[in-house]
Amino acid sequence: MSIDSDGGAPRRRPGAFDLGGRVAVITGAASGIGQAIALNFAEHGARVAAIDLTREALAETAAQVRKNGGQLDAFAADVSSAAAVDAAFGAIRAAFGRVDILVNNAGIAHVGTVLSTDEEAFDRLYRVNVKGVFLCTKAALPTMLEQGGGVILNLASIASFIALEDRFAYSMTKGAVLTMTRSVAIDFVKRGIRCNCMCPARIHTPFVDGYLAKSYPGREAEMFQKLSEYQPIGRMGRPDEVANLALYLCSDEAAFVTGAAFPIDGGVLAV
């Protein structure tokens, strides 16, 4: 229930966090945080248009959504390619006729200082984490504006706010995501568009397990504990916890929220 700003009688809405009838485009939905968001949004009624590098990569996400009675359609696109992004969003518009929500989740990580980061790695981080957000946002906005509004949610990081050791190029990209979020929010606030970003600390995803296996063979458990203890709460976050925040920010419950960056960090920024 909500109360009109003019002091009128309360007006009733469907259940909290209801996304029924909305088309939600989620990039990088094959695993980790993106997969968790796709499952959560579908559970709350959204028609999910999931984007990843290949349709085959999305098979597990699609199977889980459908097993739970949700709706998901898979689309292949490299978010760093303008042609691929335009083709995917063209197919989404042809299939559904609208785009209500865009979650720019697709991204890659990198470990290294400015001295150990080569040009190829720097450019790849920029293409996926920065250019990818730009291209998908640019592709979704015209449809949102035509239909009178929409919601964009970007995946930033605590690295958008603070320095993280050995994360030079990654931090560069997440700082850019934060400033793009605020620019889009203020440019389109009068036209029914909300744009926010989430700023997680370490989240336990398959990437973390793969990184530990590759970088610390035989010491995975020890290093997992060390990475967990970086968060004052004493553990890494879970993808479903990030997905719950995403659900709030993309629902009508967050109708008064735009241009904001939400930490979900187990207390990292509090110390």
pLDDT in tens, 128-177: 999 999 999 999 999 999 999 999 999 999 999 999 999 999 999 999 99
- Categorize the per-residue pLDDT at 207 as very low, low, confident or very high, splitting at 50, 70 and 90: confident
> pLDDT averaged over the chain?
94
Local structure of 68: helix, strand or coil? coil
Domains of the chain, with CATH numbers?
Answer: 18-200+239-255 (3.40.50.720), 202-236 (no CATH)
More confident residue, 8 or 206: 206
Pick the closest to residue 158 from 167, 149, 145 (CA basis).
Answer: 167
Residue 248 to residues 221, 252, 257, 259, 269, Cα–Cα distance (Å): 33, 8, 10, 15, 21
Instruction: Reply yes or no on whether the pLDDT at 10 is more than 90.
Output: no
Share of the chain above pLDDT 70, in %: 95
**Catalytic center residues:** 170
- Give this prediction's pTM: 0.93
E strand or H helix at 142, and its extent? Answer: helix 132-147
Q: What is the mean pLDDT of residues 73-90?
A: 98
Mean pLDDT of 2-17: 52
